[in-house]
Structure 1
């Protein structure tokens, strides 16, 4: 193979004339993630998802002491095209640094956005703003975080695999992969923290829904309790026995009306004192 540069990002079509192409084509990121040592270096693949739209980035790679070739199998994020020109002009060590710094910087940005989104959601829930599609939003966040978590766990496993094969890569490059192992591990922990925060948001939503239901039931109970004495009065004076003293009384109807209003007023005053209204 005629070496063009230490680090290269290309599509399968662009490297189809290389001796690496056949081996890279055998590695499909959609069904396999990890690293595999061969005589002349390390083959592997990994996938990432970017943002709430969960756009995929699938990459196969080859790494040895002299070069790092990234083959884009699928990139809807356009993430690596942004650094393609930069890595073509630098050495192996700096090229690896640019690529993984870009991936981790992008990951840090989307996790910060997710954290802000979850904090705002929790604030709205605590403030009593319960939307009908809130459960759906929480489920979507859970789905996205699960994808991110799987991506970074696989990326961490890949870097750990590379670090376990230091004899086939450059010493300076191995040092950088050791640094990125710690960075990816922290990113994985941050995503796990977001996952736990999502659980708290879900609990806050359940508590808010329960509180709202209790408040509604309290109103219904209070209204029912107020009208129970009126039901008794209506039942009592609706018997129409001939010996009832108020039956032929001139002010009997007015008396029952005033009594009913007085019962309602007394009940309202009582419930307000007990802070039930």
Structure 2
């Protein structure tokens, strides 16, 4: 569907498009294939949208008289769900959104809400693009706050060490993917700022600079979350090392206490005939008392040294 948006949002046919008017549109990839020549889109642009090697890349490319790009949206709250995918075609007089994958209808909802709201202000194609891209990422700040709360809650409710470590690794993987995602979007914003072939109005090109800075802030937020996660991991590792050291210290003390007893047992287990204690009536009790004194004495010593 294509709308003329000079003053009002009026649906028109593709053959009615004229360069002295402004238009916005949204269609599926199959619909675009049937009419791309009428829109002045090159076949190579369509082929690139279907290139399997680009299925996970975000890009924007300037053609001679338009921009075309591919964006795979990541849900910052659950980055492993299936991604929404869309293509953009931006002319001086036309902004076209091509929906490639949108099971949750997110792209369509953003397109309708952003264009309906912005058109009331009688804005240019440049600002229509800016507001649409900004609205696509509007919820990301809230999602990142939820991720931060999840990290803090995980740290404060640490129980099972293995489960805690697995969750940390999962969160770290998510944040790394998010950071790469925002860096790709920053590249798109910077390319739009370049305004190749003067597709955008010079006065409005600053909006893409604002968009780039917004993505940069999201990227810095992700970087901050990665630092918090690293601190949580370091604190967790310190606690685990402390527990291990306490356990090793306990076993060292026990080993030290029983070492003299082992020496005595080995000594009197040699069964030499001339050992006087073997024939003494008090030999066995004396060894027991001596062993007890050694154990008690070492325990008192270790307690004073705060080893126990």
* Residue of structure 2 equivalent to 1:52: 78
* Residue of structure 2 equivalent to 1:25: 46
For structure 1, which segment, 22-31 or 63-72, has the greater mean C-alpha deviation from structure 2 after superposition? 22-31
**What are structure 2's unaligned runs of at least 5 residues?**
6-22, 120-124
In the TM superposition, what are the counterparts of 1:83-122 in structure 2 within 5 Å? 83-89=110-116, 90-91=118-119, 92=125, 95-96=128-129, 98-122=131-155
- Contact persistence 1:48–1:148 (CA under 8 A): no
* Residue of structure 2 equivalent to 1:38: 63
Structure-2-length-normalised TM-score: 0.75
**What are structure 1's unaligned runs of at least 5 residues?**
none
Question: Following the alignment from structure 1 to structure 2, what is the Cα–Cα distance between the partners of residues 218 and 165?
Answer: 67
* Residue of structure 2 equivalent to 1:143: 173
Question: Following the alignment from structure 1 to structure 2, what is the Cα–Cα distance between the partners of residues 22 and 152?
Answer: 28
For structure 1, which segment, 258-267 or 32-41, has the greater mean C-alpha deviation from structure 2 after superposition? 32-41
State the number of aligned residues.
274
Aligned-partner SS, 1:40: coil
Q: 1:228, CA displacement in angstroms?
A: 0.5
* CA deviations over 1:218-237 (Å, ceiling 9, x no partner): 11111100101111222233
* Residue of structure 1 equivalent to 2:96: 69
* CA deviations over 1:86-132 (Å, ceiling 9, x no partner): 2453425664454333333222122222222333344456xxx4521
* Residue of structure 2 equivalent to 1:10: 27
Question: Following the alignment from structure 2 to structure 1, what is the Cα–Cα distance between the partners of residues 203 and 129?
Answer: 10
- Contact persistence 2:59–2:70 (CA under 8 A): yes
Q: 1:76, CA displacement in angstroms?
A: 5.2
Aligned-partner SS, 2:161: coil
For structure 1, which segment, 204-213 or 263-272, has the greater mean C-alpha deviation from structure 2 after superposition? 204-213
Question: Following the alignment from structure 1 to structure 2, what is the Cα–Cα distance between the partners of residues 107 and 60?
Answer: 20
In the TM superposition, what are the counterparts of 1:115-130 in structure 2 within 5 Å? 115-124=148-157, 129=159
Structure-1-length-normalised TM-score: 0.82
- Which one of 220, 233, 236 corresponds to residue 202 of structure 1? 233
Question: Following the alignment from structure 1 to structure 2, what is the Cα–Cα distance between the partners of residues 9 and 208?
Answer: 55
Give the 3 Å change call, closer, same or farther, for CA 150–165 of structure 1 in structure 2. Answer: same
Give the 3 Å change call, closer, same or farther, for CA 35–53 of structure 1 in structure 2. Answer: closer
Question: Following the alignment from structure 1 to structure 2, what is the Cα–Cα distance between the partners of residues 135 and 2?
Answer: 51
- Which one of 79, 82, 98 corresponds to residue 109 of structure 2? 82
Question: Following the alignment from structure 2 to structure 1, what is the Cα–Cα distance between the partners of residues 302 and 213?
Answer: 61
- Contact persistence 1:34–1:46 (CA under 8 A): yes
- Contact persistence 1:59–1:70 (CA under 8 A): yes
Give the 3 Å change call, closer, same or farther, for CA 149–9 of structure 1 in structure 2. Answer: farther
Q: 1:202, CA displacement in angstroms?
A: 3.5
Question: Following the alignment from structure 2 to structure 1, what is the Cα–Cα distance between the partners of residues 257 and 2?
Answer: 91
* Residue of structure 1 equivalent to 2:268: 237
- Contact persistence 2:2–2:25 (CA under 8 A): no
Question: Following the alignment from structure 1 to structure 2, what is the Cα–Cα distance between the partners of residues 217 and 183?
Answer: 51
- Contact persistence 2:168–2:233 (CA under 8 A): yes
For structure 1, which segment, 203-212 or 217-226, has the greater mean C-alpha deviation from structure 2 after superposition? 203-212
